[in-house]
């Protein structure tokens, strides 16, 4: 089964994808991870990716599609995969459709994960990071043991600038403006689902699995 996950920062895509991967026995493919992996491999494709990433430019669609193709051609993805972070635009969505068709495959489900803005702001602004070792905590769901210092190295945890409430609101506004056309494009495709992620994670994953597997 091939699933594309869409959703704003903070809706829980990564958490859902990790559990879905375990239940469905297909890999969770995050575009951030596969770009990093391509760079680390130092392949010809990786060097092209690195050129854009290190200069702060967006990786062009045709290169992104090559990176995705390389990853989904691996043996662990033969029965399907969960794609997270791609596509982000209509040209990317069309490119992905063509790429899959050329491999004799197609998307089974597009899951648009939604959550109300205030809950997202509350979730993201509760995130804390250790400035020394990089460990991530959430004061609502996974706080440090003493609520203040990193469990691993003892450094005082901090709020990342990206997680300040006003920054979160701005990021959500940008996400909505940029992805609105993509959502409208996918709404016309078979297998499109809007899924609310406000329930507890385990319960939400079971509900989503029912929708995906009937």
What are the catalytic residues? 13, 88, 127, 160, 171
Where is 137: in which H helix or E strand?
A: strand 136-138
Closest listed residue to residue 129, CA positions, set 151, 97, 96, 104: 151
Residues in contact with 117: Cβ distance below 8 Å, sequence separation at least 6, in sequence order: 169, 172
Which alpha helices (H) appear in the chain, and where do they start and end? Answer: 13-24, 31-41, 44-54, 61-72, 90-102, 117-125, 165-187, 201-213
Q: CA-CA distance, 87 to 92, in Å (whole number)?
A: 5
Specify the DSSP class assigned to residue 151.
T
């Amino acid at each position: 089964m091939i699933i594309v996950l869409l959703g704003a920062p903070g809706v829980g895509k990564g958490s859902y994808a990790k559990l879905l991967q375990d239940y469905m026995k297909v890999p969770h493919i995050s575009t951030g991870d596969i770009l990093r992996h391509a760079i680390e491999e130092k392949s010809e494709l990786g060097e092209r990716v690195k050129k854009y990433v290190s200069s702060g430019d967006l990786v062009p669609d045709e290169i992104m599609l090559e990176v995705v193709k390389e990853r989904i051609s691996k043996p662990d993805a033969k029965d399907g995969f969960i794609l997270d972070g791609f596509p982000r635009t209509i040209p990317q969505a069309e490119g992905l459709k063509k790429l899959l068709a050329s491999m004799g495959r197609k998307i089974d489900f597009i899951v648009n994960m939604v959550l109300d803005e205030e809950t997202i702001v509350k979730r993201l602004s509760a995130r804390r990071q250790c400035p020394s070792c990089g460990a991530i905590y959430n004061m609502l769901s996974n706080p440090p043991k003493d609520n203040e210092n990193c469990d691993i190295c003892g450094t005082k945890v901090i709020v990342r600038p990206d997680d300040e409430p006003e920054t979160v609101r701005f990021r959500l506004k940008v996400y909505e403006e940029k992805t609105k056309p993509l959502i409208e494009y996918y709404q016309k495709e078979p297998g499109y689902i809007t899924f609310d992620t406000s329930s507890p994670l385990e319960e939400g994953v079971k509900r989503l699995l029912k929708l995906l597997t009937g």
